[in-house]
Structure 1
């Protein structure tokens, strides 16, 4: 998807471009020109593509590429940019874990998720494996820090792609809308998003199956969660300033009722 590619590219910085997406476009033009003129070096190709030789020399003569182009290529190779049904389900579920109990680091875009009362570290590791990355854990030996699961490989590119799909970066407190991957996914993907999010956030009421999803986000986000629950379950959920109240019927429909 062009919008995801553009937004993903713009999470990078490039010293020669105000807009890093233009670096991706120029790189692609250079690669195409080189394929069409296999015997020409960077000097001749710079004339063909009308770019300074100093800018493209490493792309042509040293197999280099802009970081943004490398990130886009890797994301496309993993199926994160234009996901099929299975990958959409996996990305939506991971987005639910991030919004429910994780974050994408502002410094390096690496996503991480902590366990919850209903969500084990093993399950979170499986969620990362489902999108094609190998997980690892950190802070296991620190009593003062919650153990988190994060990608051992391609973490920054995965986080940048999730950010391009609309997952918040640097915290969840100000998010107002659901990630676009939720709308892109099938009903199964939307249910998977809710399964992860609800299990991270739900606090049950005594002696009844109704649950409360506590959160500090703006009410617009809580309303979006409530609307999605009603859309997926055809049962009632209501939004408030501090979270979402999920009816017993909706919790049963989500297979999350503990009664």
Structure 2
């Protein structure tokens, strides 16, 4: 894939939807486009004539022509296009935000499988968490949840356009549904061919939520209960970005002190050797 080409396709986004009468939701998009194009070229033709000409059931296209309704995938594509997500290349500001949000789904968020609503837990920086900056870059409004619940992390959730954002993140490889139940859990496909800056930002966003620092050493850990294959994949990505040793083990990824320094990771402890009183 070329770096100056759009990363997300309309077809992939459409296929996150239920196609209704269509086995393939993308076919609904193609039919809708064909009907609208034919109607514009033949303004005197009614729904019956158009249905006959295009060999599409009249009952399916009449709401499109008479009421201005649209298949759900078409509506989602239009919203994604309006936000610049479908035109975004690896170097666009819009894709930078999506990349950070995908990393946050992996490391501190989720996408509901029933409606594709994404939510993101704030990390130790609370309302200064980088995920808020990323959501602001999308142009979507958002709101906070569980702020007064001491037993739950505060979450930030987009409001208008939330489901289209969730579907867009899913096309990029973000996991959908309870992550603990997902068997085929792997890093996003787009990282394989992405520029270094994209891979680096994914890693740093991931670590901002999951890095475990220590008072007496510069080594950093990530606790990962997922498969050994996923831990190996994650360690390989971090090592590729840091250019220093990163290893995976039993339920843990270990980022060496050299790798942590290369990544610019700042310990949460101002004085690592000082014991807490």
Cα root mean square deviation, aligned: 2.1
CA 196–2 in structure 1, closer or farther in 2 if over 3 Å, else same: closer
Q: What does residue 17 of structure 1 align with? A: 22
CA-CA distance at 1:245 after TM superposition: 0.7
**TM-score normalized by the length of structure 2:** 0.86
Q: 2:218 aligns with which of 184, 187, 209?
A: 209
Matched, 1:186 2:195: yes
Other structure's SS at 2:114 match: coil
Structure 2: where are the runs of 5+ without partners? 1-5, 273-277
Q: Distance in 2 between matches of 1:199 and 1:98?
A: 13
Residues 18 and 25, structure 2, Cα contact 8 Å, conserved in 1: yes
Question: Which structure 1 segments of 5+ residues have no match?
Answer: none
- From 101, 123, 128, the equivalent of 1:116 is 123
Residue in structure 1 matched with residue 177 of structure 2 by the alignment = 170
Matched, 1:143 2:147: no
Q: Answer with 1 or 2: which has the greater Rg.
A: 2
The alpha-carbon distance between structure 1 residues 223 and 118, as it changes in their structure 2 partners (threshold 3 A), is: farther
Give 1:49-198 correspondences, 5 Å limit: 49-84=54-89, 85=91, 86-118=93-125, 120=127, 122-173=129-180, 174=182, 176-183=185-192, 185-198=194-207
Partner secondary structure for residue 253 of structure 2 = strand
How is 1:36-47 mapped onto 2 (pairs within 5 angstroms)? 36-47=41-52
1:4: how far off? 4.0
CA contact (8 A) 2:130 2:205 kept: no
> Is the 2:8–2:88 Cα contact (8 Å) retained in structure 1?
no
Q: In 2, distance between residues paired with 1:209 and 1:119?
A: 23
Question: Contact between 1:91 and 1:181, CA under 8 Å: does it hold in 2?
Answer: no
For residues 24 and 93 of structure 1, what CA distance do their matches in structure 2 show?
Answer: 29
State how far apart, in whole Å, the 1-side matches of 2:252 and 2:34 are. 48
SS at match of 2:212: strand
Equivalenced residue count is: 259
Change (3 A) 1:112 1:3: closer
**Given that residues 110 and 175 in structure 2 are in contact (C-alpha distance below 8 angstroms), is that contact kept between their aligned partners in structure 1?**
yes
More moved, 44-53 vs 71-80: 71-80
- For the residues of structure 2 that align with 1:88 and 1:183, how far apart are their CA atoms? 15
What secondary structure sits across from 2:120 in the alignment?
strand
Q: CA deviation at 1:155?
A: 0.5
Contact 1:104 / 1:170 at 8 angstroms: preserved in 2?
Answer: yes
